[in-house]
Amino acid sequence: MHPPLLPHHFYYLGHGLDPTVELWNGDTVQRNVALVRSGSGRRSDESLWLADLSGLLPAGEWQFRINLGNGRLLHPEFAPCYTTTLHSLWMQDGQLFSYQPAPLVSPPCVVKIEEFHGSLGTRPLYIYLPRGYDEHSDRRYPVLYMHDGQNCFDAFVDDSYAGAWQADLAASLLIRQGLMQECLLVGVSNGQEQRILEYLPPYARHLPPPRRPTVAVDHGDEQPPQRQRPLRPVPGRAAATLAYYRDEVAPFVAERYRVLSGREHTATCGSSLGGLFSIYIAWQHSDFARHHAALSTSFWATRAHNGALEAIERMRTGPRRDIRLWLDSGTLSSPGRGDDGQHETALARDALLEAGYQEGIDFQYYVAEGATHSEGAWAARLPLVLQFLFPTGYAETPRQASG
């Protein structure tokens, strides 16, 4: 186990003549800070360099690049400088860490559990493991449970219904830049034809689609024609789905992977009905997770006979929850049509404010102009969501003794 990094210290493992840290502000270099050689590197042509940035960094995000000398600059592949929220960091092989990493760090990967057997029926689980998971055996990680798991990861885009959120690509990029904590992402697949009921709260009702019509057969006076009984609305089964997450999926993940325990280190994320499911968990089962993201939430599915949206009314009038919530919508349901529930999402924001939640502290409200109700739109804003759920420097407890 390596000792913690000194506050506001910048450690750079690499080569250079007289390297400096160039502190950026906008498009210009504001200051150069010398890197001083403080040790040897992994190879003969490499050294460990150190710069003290105490008193030089703003709160929140800051930008930099490394000037290696002789006109050589070290910066991200697609940007002129790094943007990070880490204020004490270690830089190695172009990646940023909040701790001293192993000399060689394995890349992130997504593991697919082909058949997870549970009370909701057999289905796949997808588990994203961050970089260096194998080498850093003393580290434990927060965990994000993502609904509609077959749509989450680019590594298994062929499993998706209409394209992937590319959560693995987004998380890996953010982690490399020090904009997001290293964490596990667990994609929990939906039950396909049972999806609506699985994510619908029990205080809402769903009318199943009509059964395939059958021909009534007349058997004479002895037996009347057989007729179908009329369909009736069915209450949502989100309570059973939450129990499945809490009592089956989460223990499975905790037994096999190094995750941090407790609601402070647990998050959920979903879109559409999946967003409604995260809202349900946040208000009805807040002991499971503290951090939640609800994208393009289907609040309409909880409309009562009097026109009220039950999910929003519970946010307005229910006991105040110790949660953090990302709440968003696009502005189109499909190209040129609808509003992606923007009106209802704005009502949810108003309900939160009325209930005493503070925007920017307890929740973040976001409108994606021009975005539709689609996997591609959710993928586009997922980097913002991930930074909100597990930002660097926020309640980050990387190591925890196993029980």
What is the number of structural domains in the chain? 2
* Beta strand 28-34 pairing with 20-25: antiparallel
Co-location of 124 and 255 in the same domain: yes
What type of residue sits at position 302? Answer: T
Q: What's the pLDDT band for 105 if we cut at 50, 70, 90?
A: very high
Q: What percent of the chain has pLDDT over 90?
A: 82
208/146: higher pLDDT: 146
pLDDT the model gives residue 28: 85
Co-location of 362 and 332 in the same domain: yes
Q: Is the pLDDT of residue 360 over 50?
A: yes
pLDDT the model gives residue 221: 57
Helix (H) and strand (E) counts in the chain? 8, 20
Contact between 143 and 267 (Cβ < 8 Å) = yes
What is the distance between the alpha carbons of residues 98 and 87, in angstroms, rounded to a whole number? 9
Residue 138 lies in a domain: yes
72 backbone dihedrals φ, ψ, rounded to 5°: -95, 130
Q: What is the pTM of this model?
A: 0.91
Q: What percent of the chain has pLDDT over 70?
A: 91
Q: Is the pLDDT of residue 43 over 70?
A: yes
Average pLDDT for 10-14 = 96
Co-location of 179 and 259 in the same domain: yes
pLDDT the model gives residue 403: 33
Residue 397 lies in a domain: no
Co-location of 351 and 274 in the same domain: yes
Which of 47, 64, 97 delimits the end of a domain? Answer: 97
Co-location of 294 and 362 in the same domain: yes
Name the residue range of residue 265's domain. 109-202+235-389
Angle between helices 342-354 and 310-317 (to 10 degrees): 20
Residue 284 lies in a domain: yes
pLDDT tens per residue across span 218-249: 555 555 655 556 678 889 999 999 999 999 99
Q: What's the pLDDT band for 395 if we cut at 50, 70, 90?
A: very low
Residue 268 lies in a domain: yes
Nearest Cα to 381, choosing from 271, 278, 292, 285?
271
Mean pLDDT for the chain overall: 91
What is the distance between the alpha carbons of residues 189 and 122, in angstroms, rounded to a whole number? 10
Q: Is the pLDDT of residue 110 over 70?
A: yes
pLDDT the model gives residue 224: 60
What is the distance between the alpha carbons of residues 172 and 378, in angstroms, rounded to a whole number? 17
Q: Which residues of 150-179 are buried (b: 16+ CB within 10 A; e: fewer)?
A: bbbbbbbeebbeeebbbbbbbbbbbbbbbb
CATH number of the domain residue 19 falls in: 2.60.40
Would you put residue 269 in left (φ > 0), alpha (ψ -120 to 50) or beta? beta
CATH number of the domain residue 379 falls in: 3.40.50.1820
Residue 48 lies in a domain: yes
Q: Is the pLDDT of residue 376 over 60?
A: yes
Average pLDDT for 137-152 = 97
Co-location of 65 and 177 in the same domain: no
pLDDT tens per residue across span 48-91: 999 999 999 998 899 999 999 888 999 988 889 999 999 999 99
Q: Is the pLDDT of residue 400 over 60?
A: no
Q: Is the pLDDT of residue 310 over 70?
A: yes
What type of residue sits at position 177? Answer: Q
Residue 310 lies in a domain: yes
Average pLDDT for 85-112 = 96
Rg for the chain, CA atoms, rounded: 25
Which of 63, 97, 131 delimits the end of a domain? Answer: 97
pLDDT tens per residue across span 175-225: 999 999 999 999 999 999 999 999 999 999 887 766 555 555 555 555 565
Which of the residue ranges 42-46, 74-78, 142-146, 204-208 has the most confident prediction, judged by mean pLDDT? Answer: 142-146
Which of 56, 71, 97 delimits the end of a domain? Answer: 97
Co-location of 39 and 165 in the same domain: no
* Beta strand 95-97 pairing with 89-92: antiparallel
- Which are the contacts of 100, defined by CB distance < 8 A and separation ≥ 6? 2, 3, 5, 11, 90
